[in-house]
Structure 1
């Protein structure tokens, strides 16, 4: 019998410090048959019918051919949507892949990438994979970015700063004035990336508009995704809006053909149907408020959220909260010792969450 172990192979030094990305757990089946996956911040609704119908018409001649790397139709649609030049648009297989492009393009081994913590779990993984050094700045007492502390942590090795707004997993946001004050303190040779994966759910009146900040600042880029509000998580398409020289560098490190033709076509079709999509977003925002109110009434602390999830800062009780949800047939993202993130589901699923934790 052949052994598949290879003790003589050499692996990259430091690889043992890199954790594999942990995806949201599949949903268990509860005693009444409920199985609700609320662990990955997915849209609980399918794409719009016209998007599904369009993909059905083109799938036959899409999968046997390479997609266009330039993605001219999607690039043009995004440029028109945000009133920017097409050369500012860079695509990737989800915004996480574009975040990887940014780190690879902007850092050399030993350079620093800064972000709040806790924030998006991929940031430290992508940073270490690129050979850069992650700098994690703790959130403040309100589970928000501590921007003054982040400004104070900048060194001559800082090359890239991620501001996740709304923040994953806490759902908190920074204000436009806070962000402007922070950017004034950031050296011009440091790129600040405003990661707006959840921007469609942000209704805070004083939140910054990342694209408008990009227009005013030469060292700002913005990340967006079609995975959340548009319901296209399985097709993997995200993009950056970045300064021209940054965008050119990102294209050099991008994975060729990463954004499939199906993803490109679905994204274009979704952009054309944003008015209908907004109706679903409004429903999810209303459900977020209803779920949060139900959990507060049940005695739980809930951090105010502007994303498509709520954050329970349960501390040492986090695992217990997650277990109670699992027993009901609901998967949530547990951060042991810190809290539990619960994605917004359908009204029935949200009711089940409140019932399980009451």
Structure 2
């Protein structure tokens, strides 16, 4: 009960290719805003993964690839700190090849005249409950996944994992029963007729964490606790408030020891166990749905063909499955290479909602 925030591990194109389209991913796009100013506003609770508390923040690493069949993406084993990912190994062969060689140019960035074929992507996913969202009211109460913007992660991190020098107590922002809610504002980028992509690429996220405790609820909005259970929680929160306000580590430790030993806390532990099981029934599993899993055979084969073409010095998007050029290779005319390179350009901003 009351999982220690410092134990989070983060502190210490088709369905067969693990494409990141998932109906359980919560999208907070300004384009979907119903407010006059175009800002997407909502109130959410970022919560622990009830199926694996320590792995509540999924730091997903994936590759976006293109071959002559089109775009596809795969979640890399780098997500679980396994460097045996074949794409990562192929990247190393290119990256550490002789500078200026054909192999080197396969991985080199476009500004160096390279093809930038290894489109590696990083995303930080968490589980959330949507408390209020007037843009998508049908989602209120649902438990979903959210691609956590860096700006929002920073304010959560500051609360849950404060520096020793600050002397502040860790606040369990992500707790199911005595965590906090976050008011978010997603602000679109400037409308620039010359660069219309700025509206999406320069999206900004702002967030404010509630001072008061906010409990999760059932998907229909009804409380998880009955009146007597709520009284137990309220008493626990009242006692813990002294801990959360204290800037004396020794005092905090003594208070926590006393609180953990009292009868009210023992009652809350039993309540907490029940609540955790109830949430599991209505909440998707973050690591199961968005984490790394061994690729199916057809994906392994497609990735290997992509790698073979890259290491042969050709471009997968314009070569057949045996590596023979269909349109252009590295020896193609510069203007053709530039066109190919620009088509693979992606935005790597952590704050993009897609």
**Shorter-chain-normalised TM-score: which range?**
under 0.3
Please give the TM-score of this superposition, normalised by the length of structure 1.
0.21
TM norm structure 2: 0.21
Give 1 or 2 for the bigger CA radius of gyration.
Answer: 2
